Amino acid sequence: MEANKKWLSMPKDVRNGLLGNVWCGNCSDVTTITAFIVEEHNFGIVLKGKCKNCGNNVARVIEEE
Ligand SMILES: [Zn+2]
């Protein structure tokens, strides 16, 4: 819940930029994350979801300032 609040407190254009800049190991390329959840992380929050292109599990850590 708290993680989701942190995520939503970020400007929408920043969030969109992060969603479209996630590394997929399967594609070996940058992809867009879909169907993601937001969780607490040691360094901030982490998005966990699927690669838009191949469906592989991908994650993106967003460090708090
Ligand atoms: Zn992929």
- Alpha carbon 40 to its chain centroid, in Å, reads 12
Q: Rounded to two decimals, what is the model's pTM?
A: 0.90
Domain ranges of the chain: 2-63
Q: How far is the CA of 47 from the centre of ligand 1 (A)?
A: 15
pLDDT in tens, 23-36: 999 999 999 999 99
pLDDT tier at 37 (50, 70, 90 boundaries)? Answer: very high
Q: How far is the CA of 25 from the centre of ligand 1 (A)?
A: 7
Q: How far is the CA of 61 from the centre of ligand 1 (A)?
A: 17
Q: How far is the CA of 33 from the centre of ligand 1 (A)?
A: 9
H or E element in which residue 37 lies: strand 33-41
Q: How far is the CA of 50 from the centre of ligand 1 (A)?
A: 8
Q: Coil, strand, or helix at residue 48?
A: strand
